[in-house]
Structure 1
C-alpha cells in the first residue's frame, strides 16, 4: 500500500466513524514534506482546510510555526500537519491536535523514529540550563512518545523512502496502517429545548449536542442569583463545546440587559467564545456595537446589556460591579483569583477536566471547598459528548496517553491510611518513571492536581531536564506526597558576571533574581536546590506529610548543597507553611505574577556556612528595603501576606529602631497622649517593622493588620476603617495608638520613657 492509498483509506474510515486518524511519516525532512502533500491530496482535503505547523516557508496551506500552535485554539481543520523537525515540543502537539475535526487527519512529520530518540532539538536546548549542556538532556519523553505512536490504535506509521540523488530510491514502508476496522459511529443524542426555557429558543437551537443544551439550561441559574448568590460549574474534556455553551449563555444574558464579564488566562482562548456570543446576538437581531480594538466587548441596546473580556486580575477588581462573571478555563487560574470572582452575585466557572489549560481535578481539589463554603447556590454540570468528533476517537485517546493529559493521583481509598509512620521516602529516578507508567501517572497527576497551570511541556521537563529530579513519599506503593526539585547556582565566574550584567540564565530562578535585580554579584556561587513544586494527596493533607517530605529532602541533600530554596505566589497559608519548615524570606516581588496573580516570595533554608552567609545577607537587605517598598510598589499587598513575609525574614541581628529624641516624643504622644501618627511617618514605620520582624510585642492579628495598612502602606484612614471593620475613623485612630503602646515599651529608650511618664 502506498502513502496515497493509505491516506485515502484512513480518511474514509475517519469519515465513516466521524473520528480522526493519525498518520506518522518519518524519514528525511524533504521527503516527509512531499509525502504529506501526497497524503493530503489523496485524502481529498482542500488546501483551505489544511494547516501546517513548520519552521519552513512557502506552503500553499495556512502555515504557522510550531511554537505558535496556540493560534489554532478554537479553530477546526480537516487536516493539520505538524513538522516535528524544528521547534517540536509537547505543547505544540497538545495545542494542534484538538483543531482536527471529525473525519480528519492529523499528520506528524518526524525524523526516522529510531534516530529521533537520540536527536536533540530546540526544545531540548531549553532544558539544558547552566551548568548543564545539551548532551545532559535525556530522551525519555521522546522514547515514550514514539512508543505510543508504535502501539496505539488509530495511528498509522510510514517510513518514507528517499532518493539518494543517483536515481536510486528506497521504497516507502507502511509499518502500521492505523486502520481500526470500526463501522459508522453512533451519533450522540441531539440537543433539546426545555419546555420552561428562559433563554431564547435560538440559543438552544445553536447547540450541537444534548450535553450542550443541558449546560445552557444550567447556566440559566445565573439570571436570578438570589440573596446568597449563585454559581454554575461546567466541567468537560476538550472539544465538548463547554465554552460555546457559556458564550451562548452570555449572549442571552446580555440580551436581557445584564452586564456580563468574561475572563480567561489569555484572550486568545476566549476568541471563539466571543464569536458564539456575537452570532447569537445577531440572530436575535439585537443592535450590536463591537469594540474593534481587540474585539473584547459586545454591547447591546437591551437595557445596557453587554459582554466584556477582562484579564483575570482586572476581572477580580470589577467583579463586584457587574451582574455575572464567567471564568473560562477556570482550572488555569489561581484560587485567590477564583475566590475574588465570587464578589459578583452570579458566577460561572467553565473548566477543562483533562488538558494543558489546567486540570479540572486540580480545580476541584483546590477551589471547590472554598466555593461550597461561600454559602451560595451551586449547580454542577458535566459534559461528555464530543462536539468535533464521535466518542471513542482514537486520536484523542492517543493524545491523552502520550501527553498524560489524564494523569491523576491514586484513588483516595488507596492512601487514606497514610501517616508519617507508614510512608517511605523515595528518589524517583527518570528511568524508573519511564518504565513504570502507573508511578509516572500518579506522581505527575499529584503535581497537576496541586498546581493551577500544568502543560505537556512539564511532562517532558520532568523526564528529560538534567537539573530536575523528583522525590516522593510512598504508602503501600502509592504516591502520597511528591516534590519536583531543581539544581541551582554553583555557576562559574564568567556566567555570574554575565548574569550581573543582565543576561538571563534559564533554570536558576533564585540566583537570577538575586543577582540581576538585587545586585548581588555572588548570588549564583552557592549551590542550591529549589523546590519547584510540592504536592500532597488531598485525602491525606494536614497530617504533616509535606513537612516530612521537605525534611527528608534536607536530610538527603543538605550536605551536598548550600541552601534549599523556593519561590511561589505568596499567600498567608503558604508563607506559614514554608516558615514552619525552616525557610526564610529574602525577597518579595514588586509586581504580580501574570499567571498566579500573586506577588512572588523567595525563601531560603541554608544548609552550610556558605548558605547561611548567603541567606543572612539577603534577609538583612530585605529587612532594610522592605519598609520603603511597602508604601510604594507593594502598597496593595495583602496585609496578612506582609505579616507572614516579615515574620519569616529572620535576618541576623535585631531590627534597628533608629528614632531620635524628638521622634520619640511624637511617637509616645500618639501612643499614650494626644499626638497623631500622621505627623511624622518615619518613626512609626520603624516601630511597626521592628515588631513585625521580631514579633516580641503581644499584639492581636487585627492590630498587626492596622500597623500594616495604616503605618507601612500609608492607606487613608477611611479605607482602613472600612477594611478592618472599625465602628468609626476615630475608633480606628484610637486603636492605632493602643497598638503602638507595647511597641514603645519594647523598643523605647530613656527619651521615650521620659515622655511616656508625662502621660502615666
Structure 2
C-alpha cells in the first residue's frame, strides 16, 4: 500500500477513536485477496485483534463456532471471515466486543455473487450437509441489500480502487469515570441500586445490550461490597466471560464456575452472575434459591438462552423472590451514542423486530364491542412465502417479531433459519392487514430404509427430523420413520389478543388447508409440557405419543410430542401408537415414576393401554444386539422378559442385574453403583449381553 494511503489510513483511525465511533469495511472478492487486504489494513494498528474464521497460515484465528469464548473481552479490530460461514449468532456477538474507534473487516465473496456462495453455515439449516450445496440464500440477499443501503459501510470490491473514507463525526467522545468509577448517570443509578439490593439481600437483574458496562458495574459493586466486609462470589458460564468484572474490581474477587457452586455450595453473602442468560434456567433458579444474586445479562438470543432468561427465568424469580428489582441500561459505555455500527447490526439481524399492535385488541371492559369489531373485521389467513418476506421488510419485521415472542431460545440464527432453511412453511393470521398470529412448520420424514434402520438401532442420528427420529428411537414406534410430518415449530398469537381462540382458529385452518398444500401424514408438535399448553393442543384434537422423562435445560419442563393425522394411513396407525404410549406410561407409573410427571399424567387424555408383543420383541432384540436407549425401552423390556424365558441359563448376578435395570424408570448409574459395577456403561454392556440369552445368536441355525 502506498505511503500516502497509509498516512491517511492512520489519521482516519485516530479520528474514529476521537469520535468514539466504530466502522465496518466489507472486503468483497476472492478469499485469498480479502485475507491479504485485511492483514495489510490491521498491520501495526492494534494488539487487541479478534479474527473469526479462516486466516493465513501465520495469523492466529478463532473458529466461527467458538465465538462464545470471546464474549466478555474487548477488541480494537475484528476480522470476520464470512467465507468460513456467516453464522448470525457469532456475527452479532463479536461486534459487541469491538470498542470505540474499532474497525470490523467483513471478508466475503463479491456482493452480487454472495447469495449463491456455498456458505458453510447453511449446513446447520438442513438435515444432511449435501442439501446445502445447491441452495441460494435469501438471508444473504437481504444482508447484502442492508449493507448497500447504509452510507456508513465502506465496501471495497476486488479490482477496484480503495473507496473514499467517510469522515467520522467531529464531535469528541470522552470517557471520564466519576469517583465511583461510573461513566454516566445510568451507570451511577444502577450501581446505587446494586449496592442497596445487596445490603438488603434483595435479588436484582441488570440487563442491557452489549457495550453498556454491565460487567464493569459488577466489578465496581463487588469492590464496594468486599470493602464493607461482605463475602462476595462471582460466577459466569466460562472463566473468560467475567474478564471485565474482575478487571474493574480493585479488591480480590473470587470466581467460581456454576457447576462448582452447585456441588460445593460455598458460603456467600452476595453472588454476582455475569452473562446470566448463557446459564440454563434450572441452574439459575437453584442458585437463586441458595444465594442472594445479582444477575447481569443481555436479553438478545446470541448469549445462549437470552429470551429464556427473560420469558422463563424472570417470571419464576417472581414466585421465588417477589420483591426483586430490575434495572436496564441503554446508554453505550463502550462506544459513542452516534456509533453507526450497532444500528447496522440490529438491522442486519432484525434485533429490533416487533409485531404491530392488533388494530382491534381486546378491551376487558367491552367484550360485546370487541366481538362486534371482530365480526365486522374478520380474520384472514394465508401462506407467507420467502419471496414475500424478502420483498416486504415491514412484514418480515412484524412476523419475525411475533415468532420471537413464541420461544425462549430464539437467536439471531432464527432469522437465517426462517429465510434459508428448506422445507419450511409459514402461515399467518391477519386482522385488517396486520399479522396477529403466525405458525412456522417444518417438514420431517420419511427417512430412507437404511437411515430408518440406523436411527431405530441407535447407530445414526442425522440432523433434523425430530419427530420421526424421536418417535422411533425413544418412543419405540418402528414405523414412525416411514411417514411425512409437518411439525409446528412455533405458533404464537399477539399478547394483546390472546385467550380469544385465535391460536385454535389458526390450527383449524392448518388442519383444513395443509393437506391441500403438501403431501402430509401428520401435523405434529413437540413442546414443554405445561398444563395450559397440554390443554391447548388436546382441545385441538392432537394426541400424545411420547413424553420425555428428563427436564429441558432452559424451561425446566418435560417435553411431549403430539400428532394430528392428515392421511388415511395416519388415521389408521395413530390409535396403535396411542395404545403403546399409554401402555408405556402405565408401566412407568407402576415402576419408578418421577413425581414431577404426575400433573402431566393427570392432564393427558389417554387411549387404553395396548402394547404389541411383536413390537416388544423387536425392541428387546435390537436393544440386546445394537444401541437402543434403556430408559426409553424399559417398559417394552419388562413386558418382554415377563413373557419369555431365556434360551440359555442366566447366572444369579445376571438375573439380579436384569431385574433391577428393566424396572421402568430405573437409573442405570444408580443400579451400577448398587451392583458394584464400574459405571453406567458397564451396566448397560452387561445388560445387553444378558438379553442376548433370550435370542438365537447369528451362528445358531
Same fold (TM over 0.5): yes
Map residues 423-502 of structure 1 onto 2, 5 A cutoff. Answer: 423-501=379-457, 502=459
1:45 matched to 2:45:
yes
Instruction: Please give the secondary structure, in 1, of the residue aligned with 2:73.
Output: coil
Asked if the contact 2:115–2:137 (Cα under 8 Å) also holds between the matched residues in 1, the reply is yes
CA distance in 1, matches of 2:420, 2:10: 37
Q: Normalising by the residue count of structure 1, what TM-score does the alignment of the two structures yield?
A: 0.71
Of 490, 511, 517, the match for 1:533: 490
CA distance in 2, matches of 1:51, 1:184: 28
Offset, 1:5: 6.7
Structure-2 change in CA distance of 1:541 and 1:261 (3 Å): farther
Structure-2 change in CA distance of 1:273 and 1:366 (3 Å): same
Of 1, 13, 16, the match for 2:15: 13
Structure-2 change in CA distance of 1:129 and 1:654 (3 Å): closer
Match of 2:194 in 1: 219
CA distance in 1, matches of 2:67, 2:476: 37
Q: Which runs of 5+ in 1 are unaligned?
A: 162-171, 194-203, 289-297, 299-306, 657-681, 687-711, 715-760
CA distance in 1, matches of 2:521, 2:194: 54
Match of 2:70 in 1: 72
Offset, 1:279: 5.8
Offset, 1:212: 2.4
Structure-2 change in CA distance of 1:127 and 1:372 (3 Å): closer
1:179 matched to 2:166:
yes
Q: In the TM superposition, what whole-angstrom CA distance separates every residue of 1:217-271 from its partner, at most 9, and x where no partner exists?
A: 1112333447xxx34232211111123323443565466565667666xx13x74
Map residues 371-382 of structure 1 onto 2, 5 A cutoff. Answer: 376-382=322-328
Instruction: Please give the secondary structure, in 1, of the residue aligned with 2:354.
Output: coil
Instruction: Please give the secondary structure, in 2, of the residue aligned with 1:455.
Output: coil
Asked if the contact 2:73–2:243 (Cα under 8 Å) also holds between the matched residues in 1, the reply is no
Asked if the contact 2:437–2:502 (Cα under 8 Å) also holds between the matched residues in 1, the reply is yes
Structure-2 change in CA distance of 1:376 and 1:59 (3 Å): same
1:246 matched to 2:218:
yes
Instruction: Please give the secondary structure, in 2, of the residue aligned with 1:103.
Output: strand
Of 214, 225, 241, the match for 1:272: 241
Structure-2 change in CA distance of 1:474 and 1:192 (3 Å): farther
Q: In the TM superposition, what whole-angstrom CA distance separates every residue of 1:49-106 from its partner, at most 9, and x where no partner exists?
A: 222222345233x311122122211111111111111233222211221221111110
Offset, 1:11: 2.1
CA distance in 2, matches of 1:356, 1:79: 20
Map residues 343-354 of structure 1 onto 2, 5 A cutoff. Answer: 343=289, 346-354=292-300
Map residues 330-729 of structure 1 onto 2, 5 A cutoff. Answer: 343=289, 346-354=292-300, 356-357=302-303, 376-411=322-357, 415=361, 422-501=378-457, 502-558=459-515, 560-629=519-588, 635=594, 637-644=596-603, 647-650=604-607
Match of 1:310 in 2: 258
Match of 1:734 in 2: none
Instruction: Please give the secondary structure, in 1, of the residue aligned with 2:481.
Output: coil
CA distance in 2, matches of 1:533, 1:546: 11
Instruction: Please give the secondary structure, in 2, of the residue aligned with 1:108.
Output: strand
Instruction: Please give the secondary structure, in 2, of the residue aligned with 1:272.
Output: coil
1:55 matched to 2:51:
no
Offset, 1:386: 1.4
Match of 1:117 in 2: 115
Match of 2:699 in 1: none
Asked if the contact 2:281–2:554 (Cα under 8 Å) also holds between the matched residues in 1, the reply is no
Q: Normalising by the residue count of structure 2, what TM-score does the alignment of the two structures yield?
A: 0.76
Q: In the TM superposition, what whole-angstrom CA distance separates every residue of 1:291-310 from its partner, at most 9, and x where no partner exists?
A: xxxxxxx2xxxxxxxx6442
Asked if the contact 1:358–1:454 (Cα under 8 Å) also holds between the matched residues in 2, the reply is no
CA distance in 2, matches of 1:26, 1:356: 26
Offset, 1:214: 1.9
CA distance in 2, matches of 1:394, 1:187: 17
Match of 2:32 in 1: 30
Q: What count of residue pairs does the alignment treat as equivalent?
A: 606
Map residues 74-223 of structure 1 onto 2, 5 A cutoff. Answer: 74-129=72-127, 133-134=131-132, 137-161=135-159, 172-174=160-162, 177=164, 179-187=166-174, 190-192=176-178, 204-205=180-181, 207-223=182-198
Instruction: Please give the secondary structure, in 2, of the residue aligned with 1:78.
Output: strand
Structure-2 change in CA distance of 1:236 and 1:359 (3 Å): farther
Offset, 1:552: 1.5
Q: Which runs of 5+ in 2 are unaligned?
A: 364-369, 614-634, 640-663, 667-701
Structure-2 change in CA distance of 1:341 and 1:470 (3 Å): farther
Structure-2 change in CA distance of 1:518 and 1:359 (3 Å): closer
CA distance in 2, matches of 1:141, 1:78: 28
Offset, 1:541: 1.8
| RMSD, aligned CA | 3.8
Instruction: Please give the secondary structure, in 2, of the residue aligned with 1:515.
Output: helix
Offset, 1:143: 0.4
Instruction: Please give the secondary structure, in 1, of the residue aligned with 2:169.
Output: coil
Match of 1:235 in 2: 207
CA distance in 1, matches of 2:450, 2:124: 20
Offset, 1:505: 2.2
Match of 1:671 in 2: none
Structure-2 change in CA distance of 1:514 and 1:17 (3 Å): same
Match of 1:723 in 2: none
